[in-house]
Amino acid sequence: MQTPIDSHANQVIVTVLGLGAMGLPIATRLVRQFRVHGFDLHEDRRLLAAAVGVETFDTAAAAVSGAGIVLVAVRTGEQLNDVLFGATGVAEALSSGSVVILTSTVGSDAIPAAERLADLNVALVDAPLSGGPLRASAGDLLIIVGAEPRALERARPVLECLASTLTIVGDKPGDGQALKTVNQLLCGVHIAAAAEALALADALGLDLARTLEALEAGAAGSFMLSNRGPRILQAYDEDGAQVLSRLDIFVKDMGIVGRAARAAGSPSPLAAAAEQLYLLGQAQGLGAADDSAIIKVLAPSKRS
């Protein structure tokens, strides 16, 4: 096998497993500085990656061969365990001494994965990210990291290539997931609150565009209101808002929040209420829609 880490960053092989909505722009960003391997179950995603200079492979095991850094971009803890330890998992194909960067929000599932990788002399850098595909391709992500210092230093060039804000929150896997869980509680509640406020404004006969503009300028303003507000207003269009963050992602993430809160014995009534809205949206067939479509759970159609 090749040596996992070379002293020159552009000689490091970085493998991206999962070339979906986030994985592909991540790989596109990394290929500017690193030799990038990629794998996805879907051939069309591999072809898109190959078109931007990623060396793609037909199997995940082949893609990680010789890689010093393996970045995993999956949606759930179940997918994480499958890609690492499943029937076609890559764990046994990883180079001894290599580093796995977990970019996904999977909650406490990161901890047993880290322990199993450690038995293979592979370190897990717990690095859940926020920002969406456009910010990923621009290297403008927020990345929250929990990792043993030596592993972090090996992964740092990759993380810094992707992040405009890199926050180190702890020295072990699981710390990043913990803070990302708190982050997602706020994001999920803020989106639900923005949708509820604009649904009420519509019910009161207010012009929604003017209402949003006024709210953004005052004490009620927030990043999520400004970011999701215009998309909430597009939710009733024929095609809805452009899908930048699927509603069912918040079904998953608010589930993680609820489980973490119960395990810690910490009440989370607002998170629980928001989770029910996302679950209702998924049950109504909105799971693949942008999360701004949550307003349609509260108000199926516009009144004004």
pLDDT tens across 71-116, in order? 999 999 999 999 999 999 999 999 999 999 999 999 999 999 999 9
Report whether 39 contacts 56 (CB < 8 A): yes
Q: What token pair was written down for 85?
A: 């330890």
What's the confidence (pLDDT) of residue 7? 39
Query: Is residue 2 predicted with pLDDT exceeding 70?
Result: no
Question: How many C-alpha atoms does 264 have within 13 Å on its Cβ side?
Answer: 13
**pLDDT band at 6, cuts 50/70/90?**
very low
Domains and CATH numbers, the chain: 9-173 (3.40.50.720), 178-298 (1.10.1040.10)
State the residue for tokens 């990161």: 110
What's the confidence (pLDDT) of residue 132? 87
Let me know if 302 is a catalytic residue.
no
Q: What token pair was written down for 188?
A: 């999920």
Average pLDDT, the chain: 94
Q: Active-site residue among 172, 180, 296, 302? A: 180
Cα–Cα distance measured from residue 295 to residue 299, given in angstroms and rounded to the nearest whole number? 6
4 phi/psi in degrees, rounded to 5: -60, -40
Query: Is residue 165 predicted with pLDDT exceeding 70?
Result: yes
User: What is the mean pLDDT of the segment spanning 247-264?
Assistant: 97
Query: Is residue 157 predicted with pLDDT exceeding 80?
Result: yes
Q: What token pair was written down for 225?
A: 């209101």
Residue 95 DSSP code? P
What's the confidence (pLDDT) of residue 12? 86
What's the confidence (pLDDT) of residue 5? 42
SS3 for 183? helix
User: What is the mean pLDDT of the segment spanning 192-200?
Assistant: 98
Q: What is the pTM of this model?
A: 0.90
pLDDT tens-digit profile of 216-240?
A: 999 999 999 999 999 999 999 999 9
Closest C-alpha among 144, 139, 142, 143 to residue 162: 139
